[in-house]
């Protein structure tokens, strides 16, 4: 055993990189659940000594203790927001809002496409993307049936809108939660720096989708009137729950906004909101519905990345990027933005972002905060918007695709790629111009 540990220590960079690469390959093939892959990789990382099992060494805190590499700000924020959203959804409040917006469209198919996209984008900025598409899909199928229109144009637009909208805030997409925690960026930092360009990208993408799907977005006057007169009176299933949930959700988001004044971490604000709502619920039932697969995937992933960090592999990656770009901030920013977009279109953007954040922290140590600040936004824009390229680019894409196929409207991989590739490239062009003018010019 001692011989094995000595061998691992001598080749720690190669071994830690190999574990991450093998984990990536298995995650991409989707043959084994990704949570299983992450936990197996984490167990091996700890077992062979890439990170330590001991909290202290010779009476001092051990910096390589495996727990130190798990970002509990991310974990507690995710769990707390899942609880809040789970409870709020049961009241029917989100479906009520969606229906009210649809009634305002008077049933015009193009306006319906815009409103469904807008609702998805705004909701994704505050709830996770998977929850958002699960909320909007039943409404979408119902509306498409009423208008006698193929729901696929609406569903594809909702996928794009969920990934675009999720980019706008700290809590909108897991990569942003990871970036915010690592870089010390607040909720308002994301709103101030990303929301303006995300609004522009959303309008551009929806405009492109209207042009692409124009021939499908046609119906009769009678069918339009059916949507205009939707009965929304019984959508709220639990009024007291809706009031409680709405108050807590508003206060939690207000807490995020006031972080720079209160200095209360976003995970603490979310935990407080979740615990208040749980006072009125049966915790066993609610906590059972938390996406524990996602939580343990994060935990395993953090430990695997921790092995690379402890071995010095992350520092070597940072040094390599700075050598390639010869220290040019503009070149580094554009490489991170476009590479993040294309890579996140093919593999899960969560492990990619978890790998890149410690590398940017290493760059920050060498080049300073002013140099690295734009790079965080490049990583966020690339990783989140890149998810629109393929049907497997983000979890929300897969959920919508599977549900659509179940309803008899399959979304083929290559058909989605045609729209997704254009959407991603347009999004990254807008992002490049914005990053250059806002931070680099």
3-state secondary structure the chain: CHHHHHHHHHCHHHHHHHHHHHHHHHHHHCCCCHHHHHHHHHHHHHHCCCCECCCEECCEECCCEHHHHCCHHHHHHHHHHHHHHHHHHCCCHHHHHHHHHHHHCCCCHHHHHHHHHHHHHHHHCCCCHHHHHHHHHHHHHHHHHHHCCCCHHHHHHHHHHHHHHHCCCCCCCHHHHHHHHHHCCCHHHHHHHHHHHHHHHHHHHHHHHHHHCCCCCCCCHHHHHHHHCCCCCCCCCCHHHHHHHHHHHHHHHHHHHCHHHHCCCHHHHHHHHHHHHHCCCCHHHHHHCCCHHHHHHHHHHHHHHHHHHHHCHHHHHHHHHHHHCCCCHHHHHHHHHHHHHHHHHHCCHHHHHHHHHHHHHHHHHHHCHHHHHHHHHHHHHHHHHHHHCCCCCCHHHHHHHHHHHHCCCCCCHHHHHHHHHHHHHHHHHHHHHHHHHHHHC
Q: For residue 93, what are the CA distances in angstroms to 36, 86, 90, 245?
A: 35, 12, 8, 9
Which of 431 and 81 is assigned the larger pLDDT? 431
**Whole-number pLDDT of residue 74:** 85
Mean pLDDT confidence for 135-161:
91
pLDDT band at 413 (very low <50, low <70, confident <90, very high): confident
Across 257-268, average pLDDT: 88
The terminus-to-terminus CA distance of the chain in angstroms comes to: 55
305-361 pLDDT, tens digit each: 899 888 888 888 888 888 999 989 999 999 999 999 998 887 778 888 988 999 999
Per residue in 17-36, pLDDT (tens digit) is 899 889 888 877 778 888 89
pLDDT of 3: 72
Structure confidence at residue 215 (pLDDT)? 92
98 versus 379: which is more confidently predicted?
Answer: 379
Contact call for residues 317 and 363 (beta carbons, < 8 A): no
Nearest to 375 by CA among 345, 344, 332: 332
Bridge partner residues of 52 (DSSP): 65
Question: Which tens digit of pLDDT belongs to each residue from 363-381?
Answer: 999 999 999 999 999 999 9
Mean of per-residue pLDDT scores for the chain: 90
198-246 pLDDT, tens per residue? 999 999 999 999 999 999 999 989 888 888 888 888 889 899 999 999 9
- 296-330: b or e for each residue (b if 16 or more CB lie within 10 Å)? bbbbbbbbbbbbbbbbebbbebbeebbeebeeebe
Cβ atoms of 166 and 173 closer than 8 Å? yes
How many angstroms separate the CA atoms of 163 and 393, rounded? Answer: 10
Q: Please, are residues 90 and 285 in contact by the beta-carbon 8 Å criterion?
A: no
Reported confidence tier of residue 11, pLDDT bands at 50, 70, 90: confident
Which residues are CB-neighbours of 202 under 8 A, at least 6 positions away?
117, 118, 121, 161, 164, 165
Given this model, what pLDDT does residue 10 score?
Answer: 77
Gyration radius of the chain over CA positions: 23
pLDDT level of residue 388 (50, 70, 90 thresholds): very high
pLDDT for the residue numbered 1: 62
CB atoms closer than 10 angstroms to residue 66: 21
Question: pTM of the prediction?
Answer: 0.85
Is pLDDT above 90 for 98? no
pLDDT of 156 higher than 90: yes
* CA angle (136, 163, 235) in 5-degree steps: 15
The pLDDT value given to residue 150: 94
The pLDDT of residue 181 is 93
What integer pLDDT is reported at residue 28 of this predicted model? Answer: 74
């Amino acid at each position: 055993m001692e011989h094995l540990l000595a061998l691992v220590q001598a080749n720690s960079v190669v071994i830690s990189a190999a574990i991450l690469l093998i984990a990536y390959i298995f995650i991409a093939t989707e043959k084994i659940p990704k949570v299983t892959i992450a936990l197996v990789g984490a167990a091996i990382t700890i077992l062979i000594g890439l990170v330590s099992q001991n909290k202290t060494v010779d009476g001092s805190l051990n910096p390589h203790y495996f727990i130190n590499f798990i970002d509990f700000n991310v974990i507690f924020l995710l769990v707390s927001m899942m609880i809040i959203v789970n409870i709020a959804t049961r009241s029917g409040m989100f479906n009520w809002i969606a229906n009210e917006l649809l009634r305002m469209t008077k049933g015009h198919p193009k306006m319906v496409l815009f409103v469904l996209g807008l609702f998805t984008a705004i909701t994704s900025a505050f709830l996770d993307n998977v929850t958002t598409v699960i909320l909007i899909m039943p409404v979408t199928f119902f509306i498409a049936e009423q208008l006698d229109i193929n729901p696929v144009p609406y569903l594809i637009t909702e996928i794009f809108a969920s990934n675009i909208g999720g980019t706008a805030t700290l809590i909108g997409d897991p990569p942003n939660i990871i970036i915010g925690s690592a870089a010390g960026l607040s909720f308002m930092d994301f709103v101030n720096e990303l929301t303006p360009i995300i609004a522009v990208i959303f309008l551009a993408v929806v405009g492109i989708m209207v042009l692409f799907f124009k021939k499908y977005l046609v119906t009769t006057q009678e069918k339009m009137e059916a949507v205009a007169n939707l009965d929304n009176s019984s959508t709220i299933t639990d009024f007291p729950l809706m009031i409680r949930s709405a108050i807590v959700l508003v206060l939690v988001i207000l807490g995020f906004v006031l972080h720079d004044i209160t200095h209360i971490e976003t995970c603490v604000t979310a935990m407080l909101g979740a615990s208040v709502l749980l006072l009125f619920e049966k915790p066993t039932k609610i906590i059972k519905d938390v996406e524990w697969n996602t939580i343990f995937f994060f935990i395993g992933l953090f430990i695997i990345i921790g092995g690379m960090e402890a071995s010095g592999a992350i520092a070597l990656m940072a040094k390599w990027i700075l050598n390639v770009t010869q220290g040019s901030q503009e070149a580094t920013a554009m490489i991170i933005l476009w590479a993040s977009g294309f890579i996140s279109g093919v593999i899960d953007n969560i492990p990619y972002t978890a790998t890149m954040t410690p590398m940017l922290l290493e760059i920050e140590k060498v080049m300073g905060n002013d140099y690295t600040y734009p790079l965080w936004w490049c990583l966020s824009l690339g990783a989140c918007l890149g998810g629109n390229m393929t049907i497997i680019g983000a979890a929300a894409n897969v959920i919508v695709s599977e549900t659509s196929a179940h309803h008899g409207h399959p979304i083929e991989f290559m058909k989605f790629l045609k729209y997704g590739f254009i959407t991603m490239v347009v999004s990254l062009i807008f992002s490049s111009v914005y990053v250059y003018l806002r931070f680099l010019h």
